[in-house]
Structure 1
Amino acid sequence: MHFGEHIRELRESKELLQRQLAASLEIDTPMFSKIERGDRRAKREQVLILAELLEADVNDLLTAWLADQVHDLVKDEEVAAAALQSVIDELKKDKK
């Protein structure tokens, strides 16, 4: 699930309006709407605030947010899967 879709589902389950969350993020409602639609990317700091406001797992939101960014970066590359696997291998080495 994309970050924006996840945020929308959480917001709707809490019966919150876009304008309420937008105000808490100090952005206007149209900007928040673009984040939900995936037309704009939230900043990392905004993801942390949203996790708190929506009482959501911060790691889940950060994962969805980062996955969207990575996807946008590699989606048109023929070797995207191989590159991502290389990154996974490097991350595993870094953990050791």
Structure 2
Amino acid sequence: MFVRIVKMSFHEDKIEAFLTNFHEVKQNIRNFPGNRFLELYQDKNNPSVFFTYSYWETEADLENYRKSELFIEVWAYTKQFFNAKPEAWSVDKLVSLE
């Protein structure tokens, strides 16, 4: 399992549209085969910056999602609201304390 972190920055007047759409599709993303966890964060100092944080079983699962109709539709809708290029990281979790 690995973690995918995506940083997205939005035009201020488009945040509500992004959030509305995210809430409509979040269960579909979370229930996509191989996805084990999904969270959305908003930066405390810059409310235009958001991060998605998700766990994937395998890199192939993430790639299947990225090639899916669901991702293509969500990303096409979301990217029109960006005010900066998104950034993404795939990382291995080394330590987790509860």
Same fold by TM-score, threshold 0.5 exceeded? no
Query: Larger radius of gyration, structure 1 or 2?
Result: 1
**Greater helix fraction, Structure 1 or Structure 2:** 1
- Relative contact order, higher structure (CA 8 A, sep 6+): 2
**Greater strand fraction, Structure 1 or Structure 2:** 2
What is the TM-score of this pair, normalised by structure 2?
0.34
